[in-house]
Amino acid sequence: WIHFHPKVCIVGSGPAGFYTAHHVIKARQDAEVDIYERLPVPFGLVRFGVAPDHPEVKNVINTFTQTAKHSRCNFYGNINVGKDVSVEELQQAYHAVVLSYGAEDNRKMGIPGEDLAGVYSAKDFVGWYNGLPSCQKLNPDLSCDTAVILGQGNVALDVARILLSPINILKKTDITQPALEALEKSQVRRVLIVGRRGPIQIACTIKELREMAKLPGTRPEMLAADFDGITEALKNVPRPRKRLTELLLKTALEVPNEEEQERRSKASRVWAFQFFRSPVEVLASPDKTRTAGIRLAVNRLEGSGERAQAVLTGELEDVPCGLIISSIGYKSTLIDPSVPFDSHKAIVPNINGRVQQVAGLYCSGWLKTGPTGVIATTMNNSFDTAKSLLDDMASGTVDLSASKAGFHSITGLLEKRGVKPVLFSDWEKIDSVETSKGEAIGKPREKILTVQEMLQVVHK
């Protein structure tokens, strides 16, 4: 039996891509892994999704950098798979292809008026302040008093925190300069975080809630009525959910101690969770050009705990606001027609990461599971995909007796198509420009905001 070195191609350089690569390289001493990325810069949502004031979450970049610099790993940025090179071409060049390109798109609310000026998806808003090139033209209008965020997950809380944080805190983060300037001029004083269900179904984690409760210069203002019967219901819920709800109750209802009372009385900005509300329509300004408010349906809950369903009561409520941010989830898109795709669930149909009906094709990350969980969740799900791939190599399902040329055969195609790959050493040039620009003004980094500028640094 002649066995060639397994050549594996991974599409997408976010956490899922890197964790999958790491596991394959570690488990097989002969495997060679190439990571393809659409942008000239790696790390996906760690760079473009994690909140600027959560630098500790970005420490995984150190681990990913080690993987990228491994002798059997290569990073090829600035290659748009599906456009510059097809998935079928990658399948011919590699023994196995893993799709890990994440969730690029927004879930739509599906309500009238959602296309009015002043309505943004959280994904785009986060991309804007985190320097995602495709979101730099967003230029959100922050001249209103009240912002409404639809959704109560961690991303919704990140957005609320960024909208309400004192500028001197944000100035020390890697938030982009244009976002910093816009937030400095922002008139937003009140942020409502709206959810369909009740306090026990809230989707954020305790860390994010705690940060919100302690955010300098802000105070919570919640409706006591929203918490009726909650203490009673807490007896039957799992411990993490119980602790989260207790903190929420304490923040909303408890009479604060003297120090906290003083802090709240000085606060110039207000935030609140609003429960049992679903968006029905974005209300337009008199001249119909932009948003002036949102109409919410009032819900009641049927059932209890995680499975409780929001049911309409028929009652409606209008909330005046000039900024609406929809944080109801990300969704994956199809990058290549040859790949099976479930457009209803917005995932590539798979069993343990094996793409059904296509031998040698795998998926990991949000493309595999849908957009749920934190980086650690993605780590575990990527290891599962890597294990499926490694098992298939061991069993012969992935045929290693065929010689594959890997990137060598893709280079020619890219050259013909005028595509110049960006290597990891090129990213390190970008990284060093960004960190030194940041150091000069007391920030961890100042991100380069356009692909064109990134490429200029690379080809200097």
pLDDT (tens digit, 9 = 90+) per residue, 254-291? Answer: 999 999 999 999 999 999 999 999 999 999 999 999 99
- Residues making up the binding site for NADP(+): 152-155, 196-197, 208, 373
Task: Say if residue 431's pLDDT is above 70.
Answer: yes
pTM, whole model, 2 decimals? Answer: 0.95
- Residues making up the binding site: 16, 37, 45, 81, 152-155, 196-197, 208, 366, 373-375
Interatomic CA distance for residues 8 and 94, integer angstroms: 6
Banded pLDDT at 329 (limits 50, 70, 90): confident
* Closest by CA position to 274, among listed 147, 110, 378, 84: 147
* pLDDT tens per residue across span 114-147: 999 999 999 999 999 999 999 999 999 999 999 9
Lowest mean pLDDT among 141-150, 155-164, 227-236: 227-236
- Domains along the sequence of the chain with CATH: 7-104+331-459 (3.40.50.720), 108-328 (3.50.50.60)
Give the rounded percent of residues in the chain with a pLDDT score beyond 70.
100
- Residues making up the binding site for FAD: 16, 37, 45, 81, 366, 373-375
Q: What is the pLDDT of residue 106?
A: 84
Q: What is the pLDDT of residue 1?
A: 64
